[in-house]
Each structure stands twice: as structure tokens, then as C-alpha cells.
Structure 1
Amino acid sequence: MTTHPLHALLLALILCFGGSACAGRMNGSEKMMWSTYPLATLKGAATGFVITRRDPSAPGGKVPVVFTSVHVLKTMGKGPLIIGFRMPDAKGVAQVSLLAFSPPPQAGNEPFYVRHPRYDLAAFALHFPPEIAGRADISSCLNEKSLSHDGTSLHSGMEVSFLGYPEVLPGTDGAFPVLRSGRIASYPVGKPQAHGRFLIDSDVYPGDSGAPVFIAGTSGRPKLVGMIIQRVSPGTRNFSHLAIAVDADVIRETLALVAADENKSATAIQKLPAKPTR
């Protein structure tokens, strides 16, 4: 995977809206809703969420990183991946922008995203061209500090919430995800024997892959504790009462892979020979 500006990103609509979605008085669930977005390929729909990563070299010192399942991105083929972003206007009302992402061919057929080496989790950074970078501030209330640490332990029977775009409800006002909750149905959780995964007892549908799993944190701040990667169902078109999620450590490891890949690409660009002058 190599990092490149989104010169292959066809901007159906990018506007300059006023303010940050996270600046208003919202509870943790509402902040998570502003950080979660619908994804679609020609073969189906899914869910993604954005974590802003600190990057001093990027406009504003941050880069939005999109997380979803690997199996979702594999259905792209040659593209496009449609991302339904939203940003607040001056009155805080969500305005939706559609991004059609068709990445250029990569050397050695490498994907444009990084994937976790063991789990169905992928992530990629969005680097906008300089001419629109100042206006394309993708709204998210999540950053590296939003990821749960060992101090926020998960336990069997604990209630967690998740946000997705279930196929049974194809659209909502403002392209906001649907909030549901369930209890952790597996044991142990967060221990080496759990292998970075846990079960959630809740109704899950096609379209929920990539849904962020969270709990309420301090001062109304949500804590991201996992991501749904699979429904446990006898048929691909059936809903399920069980879902498999990866935990926050797996998300953190994937975010570190994005950072390492970006640093590798930046180093490679710096080593390119200078163009000869005439």
C-alpha cells in the first residue's frame, strides 16, 4: 500500500461548512454518530468510522483515517468506493457530501489500504489535494485518545453500543447511522485467550460490517472498544442475534500500521531524484 493524494477521488460535492460537529452539546452516542459514515461499492453497503490521526505535515496537523472491514474493500474491484460524508453547516445541521473514491493501480497490485495481519480490519488515510485541503475537514469526534485502554476493561454481560447502516433501513436523514446496543456474550474479554475478539448479543444485519462498538466514557466522551467484523448467521441474507467484534487493541494496532505506512511513503518520496532543470 502506498500513500498518495486523492487525485483519483471524484468529488461529487465538497463545500466549506461552518464549525465542528463535536463543538456542540452532545452525548457520547451523538458524537459517535458524527464520526460514523456509510460506505458502498457496486456490490453492497457497509459502515465505516473515522479517527483523526495527528500529523504535523498535514493541513491542520491532522489526517482522517477511515476504518472498515477488509471484505468490504475487496468488493471494490477497480472502484469506486462511495463514502457518504457529512459536515455541519453554520447552524449545526448535517449536510451530506458524496465522495467517489477510485484509487489508481498500485505497484505489485498492493491495496490502497492497510489491513491487520490477523483480522478483518482495514484502514486508509484520506489525503486531499492541496486545492481543497483547507475546505475538506472531515468531521469526527474520535482521535487516538478515544481508544479504550486497559483501564477501561470489558467484561462478559457488559452492555455496549454500536452504530451501523443495516440493510433493512437503507437511508436516514443526514446519513446518520442507526444506534443499537447489546451485551458482551463471550468470555473471557480482553485477555490473551480472547485473541482480540468478543461476541455481542444483538440483532445484526448486512451493512453493519465496520460498525464501531463503544461505551460511555467520562464527561460524555465515548470510548471506542471495538468494531464489528462478522455476523454469526446460517445465511448471508439473514439477520443475526450475534456479532463478532475485534477489540480496541486491534484497532490501535491497525492505526499504527497506517502511521508506519505513511512514514515509509514519505521517506520514499524524499529519496526520489530531483527533476533535471533545463
Structure 2
Amino acid sequence: MAVMAIDALPPEPPVAQMPAAEWDMTLGLINATVQLDQNIGEGRRKVGTGFLVQAPRPDGTPRLLLVTAEHVFRVMPNPVARIGWRFAESDGNWRYAPADLPIRQEDGTPLWTQHPTEDVAVLEITAPEEFTRAAIPVGWIANANTFDQWRMGPGDELFALGYPHGLSANRAGFPILRSGRISSWPLTPVQHFKTFLLDFNVSQGNSGGPVFWVPAAKRVPGAPVPTNPFIAGVLIKEVQGNGEGIELGVVGHGQYIHETINLLDSQRAAGAGPQS
């Protein structure tokens, strides 16, 4: 599958500066995180996680993107997947209402845009108004400098959202929140250390979920406290040894989300489809 060169892409954007008190990032990301699944027959289904990001087009017009791990789409063989919308009802109940999500053209051509080297994908979508409002601003995604700026390192805690084994937190379809500590070093430069390890129990269905820092997360003594929450990256896979999980997740840096969005913009400017 051919991809466009990434060398000419715009420089990484800064992380938006916003006081943490103005928005509860944990609740915000819970509302922006959705289950992705596809029935593949014989009572089986492929399941992953995605999250919604508001990433305006280069001309400033609004745009809603679904971010996930690229392999979540790739392992779903059919043109249409499902996305798990949730709706609040007047009595305080929530209703789970999954809807069709086209991911390929009928000839098999992907509708998503894939990073040239990393397991990251974005897909432009339309969503119910509630989810469009819930989408996370693109400026809250870490860039290549974020970890160095805040001296993130081994032992620092991050949170993750997902649907392990296709399970949700409740029948309303909300994602399950977990936490873990960064367990690898070095973390940067991101062009050399493109992923990092997070110490938590990962399962199928977690892939594509957001990994993020909020003030509730623990930091190693003496480390500076970031001025705002941020999405550190995308959960890509579980580390396995001898065919068994060893409770470690592999996280792709947030910088590669920015680069994938920039690639989408470059393809559209050149008149190309998401993939060729």
C-alpha cells in the first residue's frame, strides 16, 4: 500500500495551553472514546478502541477525526464496521446505539489514512452532535517535545481507556479506565524511540485507545507538573513473551497522530484519496 512522503509535512503543532481546572480531561476522554467492532461470522467479532478529535482543516473549517491504531481497521475484513454511540436519556439512563462506520470502499480501498511507518490511523467521520461536542481538541495531543518539556520518565503514571476483550464499563457502552506506569527508557527523541512501554494489563480490544496524563496521575518525586493534561499517545499492542501477555502495553507517541493528520491534509491538497 503506497503512502506519501512525510518529509514535507508541516512542523508539529504546539500543545494547547489550557488550565487543567477548565476541563476534566478524564471525563472528557471517556466521552470521546468509542468502541469499534465488526462481526466476522460464527459468533466472532473484531474489536478495538478509537477516540474522537477536533482537527480543523488547513482553511480553518471544522473537521471531526476518529483516531485509532491502524491494525484495528486492517484486521476488519469487511467494508463496514460499527461505532458505539451512546445517548443520555431524560431519566438519567444511557442508551447504547452502535451505527455503521464505512472503513473501505467496495473495491477494498481503505478510507482511513495511515502513518507511513507507525501503527496509527485517522478517519474523517460525521457523528451525532453529542459526540462532535465531546471530541478532544487536537492541541491536547502531545508533540515531539512534550515528554522532554515535562521530564516524563520511568515511573510516571498514565491512564488508558479501552474495551478489553470487547467489554465495556457498563451496558451503556462506556470505556474502561485503567492506569499504569511508564516502564521503558529512553522515551525521546521520538524519531528514534517511536514507542514506549506502559505497565498495565492489556487485552485484545484495548488497541487504538488513548493514553493520557492528568493531574490525578502520579509523578516521580521532583518532576515538574505539566500546566495542562495531554494525550501521550495511542495504545498499539500488548507485549508478549512465549506467546503469553506480560502485562505491558506498547504506546505510539502522540507526535505520530499529528503527522498522520498532516499526511491526510497533504493527500487532500494533492487531490489524492486517503490511501493509494
- The TM-score with structure 1 as length reference comes to 0.72
> Which residue matches 1:148?
142
> Which residue matches 2:229?
222
Q: Which amino acid aligns with 1:262?
A: R
Displacement of 1:220 after TM fit?
9.5
> Which residue matches 1:67?
67
After superposition, residues 1-278 of structure 1 pair within 5 angstroms as 27-42=24-39, 43-55=45-57, 61-88=61-88, 94-103=94-103, 105=105, 109-127=108-126, 138-149=132-143, 150=145, 151-167=149-165, 169-170=167-168, 172-192=170-190, 194-216=192-214, 222-234=229-241, 239-265=245-271
Displacement of 1:170 after TM fit?
4.9
Q: Contact 1:196 / 1:249 at 8 angstroms: preserved in 2? A: no
Give the Cα separation in 2 of the matches to 1:225 and 1:147: 7
Closer/same/farther in 2, CA of residues 192 and 211 from structure 1, 3 Å limit: closer
Give the Cα separation in 2 of the matches to 1:175 and 1:227: 20
Give the Cα separation in 2 of the matches to 1:99 and 1:56: 29
Q: Which amino acid aligns with 1:167?
A: H
Closer/same/farther in 2, CA of residues 242 and 48 from structure 1, 3 Å limit: same
Query: In angstroms, what is the RMSD of aligned CA positions?
Result: 3.3
Displacement of 1:216 after TM fit?
1.1
Displacement of 1:100 after TM fit?
1.0
Q: Contact 1:31 / 1:222 at 8 angstroms: preserved in 2? A: no
Q: Contact 2:58 / 2:265 at 8 angstroms: preserved in 1? A: no
Displacement of 1:41 after TM fit?
1.5
Give the Cα separation in 2 of the matches to 1:53 and 1:92: 31
Displacement of 1:114 after TM fit?
0.8
Aligned-partner SS, 2:118 = coil
- The TM-score with structure 2 as length reference comes to 0.73
Q: Contact 2:79 / 2:104 at 8 angstroms: preserved in 1? A: no
> Which residue matches 2:7?
none
Displacement of 1:219 after TM fit?
10
Q: Which amino acid aligns with 1:44?
A: K
The superposition leaves residues 174-226 of structure 1 with CA deviations (integer Å, 9 ceiling, x where unpaired) of: 21111111111100112257522100011111110011100016999631011
Give the Cα separation in 2 of the matches to 1:168 and 1:257: 30
> Which residue matches 1:17?
none
Aligned-partner SS, 2:185 = coil
Q: Contact 1:29 / 1:222 at 8 angstroms: preserved in 2? A: no
Give the Cα separation in 2 of the matches to 1:71 and 1:162: 18
Over the matched positions of the two proteins, sequence identity in percent amounts to: 24
Unpaired stretches in structure 2, ≥5 consecutive residues = 2-21, 40-44, 216-224
Q: Contact 2:31 / 2:131 at 8 angstroms: preserved in 1? A: no
Q: Contact 1:70 / 1:122 at 8 angstroms: preserved in 2? A: yes
Displacement of 1:63 after TM fit?
1.6
Closer/same/farther in 2, CA of residues 220 and 139 from structure 1, 3 Å limit: farther
